[in-house]
């Protein structure tokens, strides 16, 4: 037995075991699958392929062809009149259950460890078509065990990639109890060495924009500190993403080795050509995180929460979720003036997104949320900014994999990659709303029975 076939056989055994554990949640055996006669959007941006046949063997895509593929023992799915695209990737989320208190508590949020709060939200992400995501800062004793559960196949969840706690400075933005606060380089390196023992998938640092005139400056990482961290991370094979909300801090991050941006610059003066050129030349992927403009910005309006009546919200949100969204969360956003500032900034945000897209920047859909349906609002906002649906397929999939450095394994429908697929009943290239017409979600070659997931939509039946 060759080493390859041995490890393959072993993997089969392991996945059979994982299957036995998860059968109650998932409901479908991990048999090989042949999707026949489907229109394929592979996520790379190529034109769709009509009458494609896709053979999935085990966890991965084995063959794609417009010629007949013999199914052998594979389960055949008739894709006639349907569409396949890669599973969606949300490149900026925070799994619920790791941090207590309102978002507005800033550095005073308390670390918590509540896996039971996380689990239904992870199921909701899958139901919404998300098959991979990056937790973009959380409580480490909470998030690493969640990632372990996902990787062992013990919970229904998108692939979970994590940065662990964020990296900031004492009293800086995002410098709460879960963060590594950089002081001297000796101390910081010890903190990073400790972090590396838990094997983060990426690192994230948080920079603070310069204060407005007459306002007190919040401390922020210096250029030297940024460079030390990104150099050291690179030596350990890790990419660093940064929270940098304005062009100056964003530029500071990139020129000092940051490889990706956790937010797009949405406010302030129009983006400069020099900045756009830098992002393109250095191939810096940018997580868009615009959804606040579509949600928070409208909270004070009459019917401003109508989006909660959309199918995916109704199917996945519990009564408590709705109560929180319509109650304290909404009240706080209005009370703290966040709603007004988002509303005022919408036009600028739309213009900046269009500029990034037109310049050829690698955009990836990220929501900065903790629940699945928001990915579709994010994509809709990008569409409103002027990005057409066919381009959004790549922004919603492969570009997220590139952002995380995972593009060898996920993000597109190509031979050899994990079979993370959506089967849709309407053409995603014809409209971004069609991304929601999900008939099937397949993760790692496993068909997930949406009708059996532990979600409000299935409790009503």
Task: Considering the complex, state which of residue 368 and residue 427 has its C-beta at the smaller distance from Zn ion.
Answer: 368
Report the chain's C-alpha Rg in angstroms: 22
Task: Considering the complex, state which of residue 128 and residue 136 has its C-beta at the smaller distance from Zn ion.
Answer: 136
The size of the interface with Zn ion (CB under 5 A), counted in residues, is 2
State in angstroms the smallest separation of the CB of 366 from Zn ion: 8
Where does 268-362 have alpha helices with state H?
Answer: 273-281, 291-294, 311-316, 319-326, 328-335, 338-359
Q: How far apart are CA 113 and CA 111, in angstroms?
A: 7
Task: Considering the complex, state which of residue 173 and residue 339 has its C-beta at the smaller distance from Zn ion.
Answer: 173
Residue 230 touching Zn ion (CB under 5 A): no
Task: Considering the complex, state which of residue 15 and residue 91 has its C-beta at the smaller distance from Zn ion.
Answer: 91
Grouping H, G, I as helix, E, B as strand and the rest as coil, residue 333 is helix
State in angstroms the smallest separation of the CB of 9 from Zn ion: 41
* Contact range with Zn ion by CB under 5 A, out of 114-122, 250-258, 361-369, 436-444: 361-369
Cα-Cα-Cα-Cα dihedral sign, residues 22, 370, 326, 392: negative
- Phi and psi of 438, rounded to 5°? -85, 115
State in angstroms the smallest separation of the CB of 408 from Zn ion: 26
Task: Considering the complex, state which of residue 56 and residue 240 has its C-beta at the smaller distance from Zn ion.
Answer: 240
Grouping H, G, I as helix, E, B as strand and the rest as coil, residue 448 is strand
* Contact range with Zn ion by CB under 5 A, out of 16-24, 192-200, 365-373, 381-389: 365-373
Where does 208-337 have alpha helices with state H?
Answer: 223-235, 247-255, 273-281, 291-294, 311-316, 319-326, 328-335
Residue 368 touching Zn ion (CB under 5 A): yes
- Torsion, Cα of 16, 19, 23, 27 (10° steps): -90
State in angstroms the smallest separation of the CB of 134 from Zn ion: 10
Task: Considering the complex, state which of residue 201 and residue 368 has its C-beta at the smaller distance from Zn ion.
Answer: 368
- Residue 251 tokens read as 């530029």
State in angstroms the smallest separation of the CB of 266 from Zn ion: 14
Residue 420 touching Zn ion (CB under 5 A): no
Structural contact between residues 414 and 374, judged by C-beta atoms closer than 8 angstroms: no
Structural contact between residues 366 and 262, judged by C-beta atoms closer than 8 angstroms: yes
Task: Considering the complex, state which of residue 368 and residue 378 has its C-beta at the smaller distance from Zn ion.
Answer: 368
State in angstroms the smallest separation of the CB of 95 from Zn ion: 11
| 3-state DSSP percent of the chain in helix, strand and coil, to 5 | 40, 20, 40
Task: Considering the complex, state which of residue 173 and residue 436 has its C-beta at the smaller distance from Zn ion.
Answer: 173
* Contact range with Zn ion by CB under 5 A, out of 26-34, 131-139, 155-163, 202-210: 131-139
State in angstroms the smallest separation of the CB of 292 from Zn ion: 11
Q: How far apart are CA 360 and CA 181, in angstroms?
A: 35
DSSP 295: T
* Contact range with Zn ion by CB under 5 A, out of 150-158, 229-237, 353-361, 368-376: 368-376
* Contact range with Zn ion by CB under 5 A, out of 135-143, 185-193, 207-215, 325-333: 135-143
Residue 367 touching Zn ion (CB under 5 A): no
Residue 135 touching Zn ion (CB under 5 A): no
DSSP 30: -
* Contact range with Zn ion by CB under 5 A, out of 18-26, 276-284, 364-372, 424-432: 364-372
What number of residues does the chain have? Answer: 461
Task: Considering the complex, state which of residue 134 and residue 441 has its C-beta at the smaller distance from Zn ion.
Answer: 134
Q: Give residue number: closest CB to Zn ion.
A: 368
Q: How far apart are CA 54 and CA 67, in angstroms?
A: 10
Task: Considering the complex, state which of residue 82 and residue 94 has its C-beta at the smaller distance from Zn ion.
Answer: 94
Cα separations (Å) of 358 from 129, 266, 388, 399? 27, 15, 11, 16
* Contact range with Zn ion by CB under 5 A, out of 38-46, 129-137, 325-333, 397-405: 129-137
Residue 136 touching Zn ion (CB under 5 A): yes
Residues near Zn ion (CB under 5 A) are: 136, 368
């Amino acid at each position: 037995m060759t080493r390859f076939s041995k490890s393959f056989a072993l993997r089969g055994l392991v996945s059979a075991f994982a299957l036995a554990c998860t059968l109650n949640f998932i409901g479908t055996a991990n048999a090989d699958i042949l999707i026949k006669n489907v229109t394929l959007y592979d996520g790379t941006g190529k034109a769709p392929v009509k009458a494609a046949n896709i053979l999935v063997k085990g966890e991965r895509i084995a063959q794609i062809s417009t010629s007949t593929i013999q199914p052998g023992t594979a389960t055949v799915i008739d894709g006639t009149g349907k569409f396949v695209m890669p599973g969606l990737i949300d490149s900026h989320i925070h799994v619920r259950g790791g941090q207590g208190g309102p978002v507005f508590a800033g550095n005073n949020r308390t670390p918590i460890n509540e896996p039971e709060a996380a689990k239904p939200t992870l199921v909701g992400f899958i139901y919404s078509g998300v098959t991979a995501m990056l937790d973009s800062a959380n409580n480490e004793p909470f998030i690493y065990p969640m990632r372990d559960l996902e990787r062992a196949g013990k919970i229904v969840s998108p692939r979970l990639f994590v940065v662990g706690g964020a990296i900031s400075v004492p009293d800086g933005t995002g410098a709460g109890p879960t963060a590594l606060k950089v002081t001297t380089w000796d101390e910081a390196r010890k903190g990073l060495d400790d972090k590396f023992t838990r094997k983060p998938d990426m690192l994230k640092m948080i920079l603070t924009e310069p204060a407005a005139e007459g306002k007190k400056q919040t401390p922020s990482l210096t250029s030297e500190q940024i460079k030390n961290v990104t150099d050291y991370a690179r030596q350990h094979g890790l990419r660093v993403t940064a929270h940098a909300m304005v062009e100056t801090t964003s530029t500071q991050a990139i020129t000092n080795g940051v490889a990706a941006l956790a937010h797009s610059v949405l406010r302030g003066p129009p983006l400069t050509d020099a900045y756009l050129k830098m992002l393109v030349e250095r191939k810096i992927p940018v997580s868009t995180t615009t959804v606040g403009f579509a949600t928070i910005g409208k909270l004070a309006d009459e019917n401003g929460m109508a989006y909660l009546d959309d199918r995916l919200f109704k199917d996945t949100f519990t009564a408590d979720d709705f109560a929180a969204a319509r109650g304290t969360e909404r009240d706080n956003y209005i009370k703290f003036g966040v709603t007004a500032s988002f509303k005022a900034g919408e036009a600028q945000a739309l213009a900046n997104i269009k500029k990034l897209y037109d310049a050829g920047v690698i955009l990836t859909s990220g929501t900065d949320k903790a629940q699945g349906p928001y990915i579709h609002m994010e994509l809709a906002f990008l569409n409103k900014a002027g990005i057409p649906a066919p381009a959004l397929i790549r922004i919603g999939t492969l570009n997220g994999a590139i952002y995380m450095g995972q593009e060898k394994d996920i993000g597109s429908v190509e031979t050899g990659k994990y079979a993370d697929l959506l089967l849709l009943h309407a053409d995603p290239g014809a409209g971004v709303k069609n991304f929601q017409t999900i008939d099937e979600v397949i993760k790692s070659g496993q068909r997930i029975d949406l009708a059996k997931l532990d979600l409000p939509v299935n409790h009503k039946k």
